[in-house]
């Protein structure tokens, strides 16, 4: 099959459909947990326990596989707060109490995910109670902004030390846990990982990877479907 035709098949039907139609030999091998890779059979995908998935160069090109390295970075960590409205003027204000440790690194001007802005930090009661007061201005339109009401706020706090991270798109969350596909030569090995903090773009990996490991960032779900097809005959990710 020529690369241009293969790319058309993959683009229109997806890798799972391609595997379903690649012949008796590969289908039978898939049900046994692996497919033998041979030039004569033209098998586009194979799986070997402990080694992972392997594809022909044409399939890799057609899928447009993209990768990235696991790397250390300062990852903003979410801080959940409960603030109580104490002023309902033109710009409502709310007060939240946090521990001294939670307050470290916070500065006026930070904004929460809900659009509230941290405008003042008071440490007057810190020695007596160990608590720091945070004053927020609230955006208009909040459903609960009456005097005495409480609002849930989320701040992204810069970490004081780096963490090992991968792009969020590399993470596969299945019923059996969290995984990434690690590139090992010409193979793609699904590897279990333990995740920590996360942002919109990156996820902390606390176990399962080393800095410099190369992981697939796209198309992760297609690799998962291919592995399921070759080992179990079907399934889905979550």
Q: What is the pLDDT of residues 141-175, one digit of tens each?
A: 776 678 899 999 988 776 667 889 999 999 999 88
pLDDT tens sequence across 192-203: 999 987 877 889
Using 50, 70 and 90 to split pLDDT, how confident is the model at 206?
Answer: very high
Measured between alpha carbons, how far is 78 from 199 in angstroms, rounded to an integer? Answer: 8
Q: In degrees, to the nearest 5, what angle opens at C-alpha 97 toward C-alphas 91 and 103?
A: 100
Which phi-psi region, left, alpha or beta, contains residue 145 (left: φ > 0; alpha: ψ -120 to 50)? alpha
Among 55-59, 98-102, 225-229, which is the least confidently predicted range? 98-102
Which structure tokens are listed for 135? 């004053």
pLDDT for res 146: 84
pLDDT for res 35: 52
Q: What is the mean pLDDT of residues 9-23?
A: 45
3-state DSSP call for residue 120? strand
* Residue 6 or residue 185, greater confidence: 185
Chain-centroid distance, C-alpha 14 = 22
**Run of H or E residues at 54:** strand 52-55
Among 6-20, 99-113, 190-204, 217-231, which is the least confidently predicted range? 6-20
For the chain, where do the domains classified as CATH 2.40.420.20 start and end?
66-73+161-218
Measured between alpha carbons, how far is 79 from 83 in angstroms, rounded to an integer? Answer: 12
Measured between alpha carbons, how far is 35 from 37 in angstroms, rounded to an integer? Answer: 6
Q: What is the mean pLDDT of residues 176-190?
A: 95
pLDDT at 237 > cutoff 50: no
pLDDT for res 185: 93
pLDDT tens sequence across 110-136: 999 889 999 999 999 888 888 999 999
Which structure tokens are listed for 41? 């059979």
For the chain, where do the domains classified as CATH 2.40.30.170 start and end?
77-157
Residue 95 bridge partners (DSSP): 84, 135
Residues in the chain: 238
Which structure tokens are listed for 169? 């798109």
Cβ(97)–Cβ(150) below 8 Å: no
Measured between alpha carbons, how far is 85 from 95 in angstroms, rounded to an integer? Answer: 6
Fold observed for domain 66-73+161-218: 2.40.420
CATH number of 77-157: 2.40.30.170
Q: What is the mean pLDDT of residues 63-83?
A: 89
Peptide bond into 219 cis (omega under 30): yes
Q: Show the beta-strand stretches assigned E in 56-116.
A: 66-69, 71-73, 77-87, 93-99
3-state DSSP call for residue 231? helix
Query: pTM, whole model, 2 decimals?
Result: 0.61
């Amino acid at each position: 099959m020529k690369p241009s035709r293969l790319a058309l098949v993959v683009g229109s039907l997806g890798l799972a459909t391609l595997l379903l139609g690649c012949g008796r030999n590969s289908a039978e091998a898939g049900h046994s947990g692996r497919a033998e890779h041979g030039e004569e059979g033209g098998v586009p995908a194979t799986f070997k326990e402990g080694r992972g998935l392997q594809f022909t160069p044409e399939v890799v090109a057609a899928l447009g596989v993209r990768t990235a390295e696991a790397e250390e970075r300062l990852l903003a960590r979410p801080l959940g707060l409960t603030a109580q409205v104490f002023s309902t003027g033109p710009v409502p204000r709310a007060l939240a109490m946090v521990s001294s440790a939670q307050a470290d690194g916070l500065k006026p001007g930070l904004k929460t995910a809900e659009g509230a802005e941290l405008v003042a930090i008071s440490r007057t009661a810190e020695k007596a109670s160990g608590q720091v007061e945070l004053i927020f201005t609230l955006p208009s339109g909040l459903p609960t902004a009456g005097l005495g009401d409480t609002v849930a706020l989320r701040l992204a706090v810069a970490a004081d030390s780096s963490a090992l991270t991968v792009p969020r798109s590399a993470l596969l969350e299945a019923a059996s846990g969290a995984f990434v596909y690690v590139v090992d030569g010409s193979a793609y090995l699904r590897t279990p990982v333990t995740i920590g903090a996360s942002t919109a773009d990156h996820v902390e990996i606390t176990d399962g990877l080393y800095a410099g490991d190369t992981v697939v960032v796209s198309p992760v779900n297609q690799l998962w479907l291919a592995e399921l097809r070759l080992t179990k005959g079907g399934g889905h990710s979550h």
